[in-house]
């Protein structure tokens, strides 16, 4: 069927659906970003006002700082936790230990919980009312309660914790698959040479899994940048703007302040970051494929 | 370190991790079984002394909650079905034919996966508003469908790749035409891949908040994820136990589907992450 034009018929449904819901809207978001439209009022003129107002907004540095911090902390912790559990599972499998499947199931169960429910669950856990789970536990063992959600720094930490609880399973699965693909002969040879477990981890596991870690870092970064429902339900972006990340800011700007031009200008930024990361991801995949 | 000590440490770490990951859900269960008086006792009453099912009775006999659950099932099931239906021909062509532009096309489909629904929901809202299609489940289903398509194409392609072309060639020699081959041989053999794409899309759709929150406003149309967010906004400390029960009701269907189909889901994540 090489060169046959009819081949595109097979792709027609996909192209129509993705074109209508993604490609045309993306083009339009870029157009809106140069316009003075609001959510309800049509475009009356074009210009850079949207960019000027959105990028000149005094709150933007804070939003970007929050986004950077939330993404960095999330991506590092998601992968550290995911890697630790994956390595634990592999060791348990190898030694024939009990309950490894159960551990995997428990971690994965959190992954299917909707982001909104995740935010609400952690709000109940971290509630600063006298009966909040974590604080009342702290009091039971004689420690002072912590302002988990009303203190700006703690609120950021709480958002990261909720995100990591829900999201680690993805990294765990990716790393579990990657670790099992490492040739066991490498470890046998290292053991014969007397390498300690730490040395084996640093000089075999990490280098062999480098590709998986790189790919996973990019995927998890994109996922973290693009979602905000956990934060919305947990803190609503507060206290003040302490946990308001870029995607939540766009959401508020467009759907509560009706500032379509400014919201679109920031959506273009979000899109540009995602696409840049995707290109890096594709370059990595192609290099691995070529090898 | 002897292997025995290593095993003990592995068990210890496994138990600690399992407890940490399980605790939020157990706390939710604990809250949802309490009376208001026991909610105020916090962690000291982790196991309620007077457990009650009243909270669930209130939530589940509320007609509105039944509607929210039904809406969520309807939206995510039809969205997932649509995504698989649209993705299957493309996945088949990508698996079986070679043609100019295939590489860039498949990469393009993958790139769509990385676009946040937040970016496209802004123009979509305007289009649908102008067309008078806001407040419609069909619009939401179409968006769910599109969100699910990229991953579905890749997952189903991997499934088709695993079916030997020789089987199809044999059927062709026996006189089957391409449509018959596809319906009688290839699709039944690809059923596990189709099923895992469907399930993964269902779970993603169940979690969706942004799309229905923006496109639907009439209370009777909302799916459960939006409903519990609204419910949380109107609840207070004295109704924490009800919110917990409502959250549990929203979470349990996803958990049950996951527990029943875990193998398919894990395989799908691996195929999606490693290949895609």
pLDDT digit string (tens) for B112-124?
Answer: 988 999 999 988 9
CA distance to A120, B4, B18, B225, per residue, from A149 (Å): 12, 43, 25, 22
Q: How far is it, in rounded angstroms, from Cα A124 to Cα A144?
A: 18
Which tens digit of pLDDT belongs to each residue from A251-266?
A: 998 888 887 778 888 9
A158 shares contact with chain B (CB less than 8 Å): no
B181 within 8 A of B236, measured Cβ to Cβ: no
- The predicted structure's pLDDT at residue A281: 85
Q: From the list B7, B109, B257, which residue is nearest A18 (CB)?
A: B109
Could you tell me how many CB contacts below 8 A there are between chain A and chain B?
A: 265
Can you give the pLDDT at residue B275?
A: 43
Q: What is the pLDDT of residue B173?
A: 86
User: What pLDDT shows up at residue A146?
Assistant: 86
**Residue A210: which pLDDT band, with cuts at 50, 70 and 90?**
confident
Give every CB contact of residue B77 below 8 A, 6+ residues apart in sequence. Answer: B202, B205
DSSP summary character for residue A242: T
pLDDT in tens, B39-57: 777 777 778 877 888 888 8
Residue A265: the pLDDT is: 87
* Nearest neighbour of B22 by CB, restricted to A18, A106, A170: A106
Cβ contacts of A269 within 8 Å, gap of 6 or more: A246
Taking the CA of residue B129 and the nearest CA in chain A, the distance in Å comes to 9
d(CA A244, CA A276): 23
Residue B252's alpha-carbon distances to A232, B29, B62, B241, in angstroms, are 21, 11, 17, 16
B40–chain A Cβ distance below 8 A for any pair: yes
Q: Is B177 left (phi over 0), alpha (psi -120 to 50) or beta?
A: beta
CA distance between the termini of chain A:
29
State whether residue A24 is helix, strand or coil: helix
Is residue A148 less than 8 Å (CB to CB) from chain B?
no
Beta-bridged to residue A35, according to DSSP, are A46
pLDDT digits (tens, 9 = 90+) for B137-149: 999 999 999 999 9
Interface of A with B in 74-113 (CB under 8 A): 84-85, 88, 91-92, 95, 97, 99-100, 102-103, 105-110, 112-113
DSSP A3: T
Set of chain A residues whose Cβ sits within 8 Å of the Cβ of B114:
222, 274-275, 277-278
> Which residues of chain B neighbour A233 with C-beta distances below 8 Å?
229, 232
Q: Which residues of B82-106 are buried (b: 16+ CB within 10 A; e: fewer)?
A: bbbebbbbbbbbbbbeebeeeeebb
Instruction: Please compute, for residue B92, the number of CA atoms within 13 A of its CA located in the half-sphere on the CB side.
Output: 24
**Which is more confident, B89 or B235?**
B89
Distance CA B266, CA A87 (A): 17
Q: Is A230 helix (H, G, I), strand (E, B) or coil?
A: helix
Give the list of residues 6+ apart from residue A193 with CB closer than 8 angstroms, or none. Answer: none
**Alpha-carbon span B196 to B70, nearest angstrom:** 22
Chain B residues whose beta carbon lies within 8 Å of the beta carbon of residue A102: 18
Instruction: For chain B, give the DSSP string.
Output: --HHHHHHHHHHHHHHHHHHHHHHHHHHHHHHTS-HHHHTTGGGGSS-SS---HHHHHHHH-HHHHHHHHHHHHHHHHHHHHHHHHHHHHHHHHHH---TTHHHHHHHHHHHTTS-HHHHHHHHHHHHHHHT-TT-HHHHHHHHHHHHHHHHHHHHHHHHHTS-HHHHHHHHHTT--HHHHIIIIIHHHTHHHHHHHHHHHHHHHHH--HHHHHH--SGGG--HHHHHHHHHHH--GGGHHHHHHHHHHHHHHHHHHHHHTHHHHHHHHHIIIII-
Q: Give, for A178, the enclosing helix (H) or strand (E).
A: helix A152-180
Least confident of B105-109, B219-223, B234-238: B234-238
Task: Classify burial at B7, counting beta carbons within 10 Å of its beta carbon; exposed 0-12, middle 13-18, buried 19 or more.
Answer: middle
Q: How far is A165 from chain B (nearest CA, A)?
A: 7
Cβ within 8 Å of residue B110, ≥6 positions away: A278, A282, B150, B154, B276
- Partners of B232 on chain A (C-beta within 8 Å) are 120, 123, 233
B252 touches chain A (CB under 8 A): no
Partner residues linked to A46 by β-bridges? A35
Taking CB atoms and an 8 Å limit, are A177 and B250 in contact across chains?
no
CA distance A58 to chain B (A): 23
User: A 41-70 residues with CB below 8 A of B?
Assistant: none
Q: How confident is the model over A183-191, as a mean pLDDT? A: 88
Taking the Cβ of residue B255 and every Cβ of chain A, the question of whether any pair is shorter than 8 Å is answered with yes
How far lies B237's CA from each of A93, A135, B79, B116, in Å?
45, 15, 36, 34
Residues of B in contact with A282 (CB under 8 A): 107, 110-111
Q: Is the pLDDT of residue B107 over 70?
A: yes
- Mean predicted confidence (pLDDT) in A201-218: 89
B231 within 8 A of B117, measured Cβ to Cβ: no
The dihedral built from the CA positions of residue B16, B18, B23 and B24, taken in this order, carries a sign that is positive
Q: What are phi and psi of B177, to 5 degrees?
A: -85, 175
A164-168 average pLDDT score: 93
Residues in A closer than 8 angstroms to B123, CB to CB, are 24-25, 28-29, 32
At residue B167, does pLDDT exceed 70?
A: yes
Q: What are the chain A neighbours of B112 within 8 Å (beta carbons)?
A: 18, 22-23
Q: How far is B156 from chain A (nearest CA, A)?
A: 13
Q: Rg of chain B over CA atoms, in angstroms?
A: 23
Mean pLDDT of B69-73: 93
Which chain B residue has its CA at the smallest distance from A127's CA?
B237
Closest alpha carbon to B222 in B143, B142, B137, B131: B137
Catalogue the E-assigned strands of chain A.
none
């Amino acid at each position: 069927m090489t060169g046959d034009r009819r081949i595109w018929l097979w792709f027609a449904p996909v192209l129509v659906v993705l074109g209508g819901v993604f490609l045309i809207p993306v083009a339009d978001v870029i157009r809106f970003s140069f316009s003075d439209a609001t959510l309800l009022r049509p475009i009356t003129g074009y210009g850079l006002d949207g960019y000027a107002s959105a990028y000149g907004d005094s709150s933007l540095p804070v939003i970007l700082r929050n986004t950077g911090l939330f993404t960095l902390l999330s991506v590092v912790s998601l992968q550290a936790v995911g890697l630790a559990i994956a390595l634990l599972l592999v060791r348990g499998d190898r030694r024939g230990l009990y309950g490894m499947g159960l551990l995997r199931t428990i971690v994965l169960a959190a992954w299917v919980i909707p982001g909104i429910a995740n935010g609400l669950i952690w709000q109940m856990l971290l509630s600063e009312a006298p009966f909040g789970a974590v604080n009342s536990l702290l009091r039971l063992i004689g420690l002072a309660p912590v302002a988990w959600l009303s203190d700006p720094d703690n609120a950021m930490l709480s958002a990261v914790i909720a995100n990591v609880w829900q999201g680690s399973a993805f990294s765990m699965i990716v790393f579990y698959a990657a670790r099992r693909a490492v040739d066991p002969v490498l470890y046998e040879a290292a053991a014969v040479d007397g390498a300690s477990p730490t040395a084996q981890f640093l000089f075999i596991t990490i280098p062999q899994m480098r590709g998986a870690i790189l790919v996973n870092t990019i995927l998890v970064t994109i996922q973290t940048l693009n979602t905000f429902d956990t934060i919305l339900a947990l803190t609503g972006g507060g206290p003040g703007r302490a946990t308001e990340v870029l995607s939540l800011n766009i959401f508020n700007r467009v759907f509560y302040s009706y500032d379509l031009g400014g919201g679109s200008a920031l959506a273009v930024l979000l899109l540009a970051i995602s696409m840049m990361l995707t290109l890096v991801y594709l370059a990595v995949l192609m290099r691995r494929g070529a090898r | 370190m002897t292997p025995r000590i290593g095993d003990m440490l592995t068990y210890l770490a496994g138990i600690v991790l399992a407890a940490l990951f399980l605790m939020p859900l157990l706390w939710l269960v604990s809250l949802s079984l309490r009376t208001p008086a026991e909610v105020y006792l916090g962690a000291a009453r982790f196991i309620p002394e007077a457990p009650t099912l009243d909270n669930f009775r209130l939530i589940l006999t509320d007609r509105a909650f039944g509607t929210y659950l039904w809406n969520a099932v309807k939206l995510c099931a039809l969205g997932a079905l649509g995504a698989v239906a649209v993705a299957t021909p493309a996945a088949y062509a990508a698996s079986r034919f070679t043609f100019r532009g295939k590489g860039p096309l498949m990469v393009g489909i993958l790139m769509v996966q990385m676009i946040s629904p937040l970016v496209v929901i802004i123009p979509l809202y305007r289009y649908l508003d102008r067309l008078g299609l806001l407040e419609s489940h069909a619009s939401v289903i179409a968006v769910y469908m599109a969100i699910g398509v990229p991953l579905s194409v890749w997952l189903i392609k991997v499934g088709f790749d695993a079916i030997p072309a020789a089987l199809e060639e044999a059927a062709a020699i026996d006189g089957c035409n391409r449509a018959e081959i596809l319906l009688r041989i290839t699709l039944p053999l690809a059923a596990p891949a189709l099923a895992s794409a469907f399930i993964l899309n269902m779970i993603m759709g169940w979690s969706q908040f942004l799309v229905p929150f923006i496109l639907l406003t009439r209370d009777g149309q909302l799916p459960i994820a939006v409903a519990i967010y609204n419910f949380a906004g109107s609840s207070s400390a004295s109704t924490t136990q009800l919110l917990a029960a409502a959250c549990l009701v929203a979470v349990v269907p996803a958990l049950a589907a996951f527990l029943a189909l875990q193998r398919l889901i894990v395989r799908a994540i691996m195929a999606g992450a490693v290949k895609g």
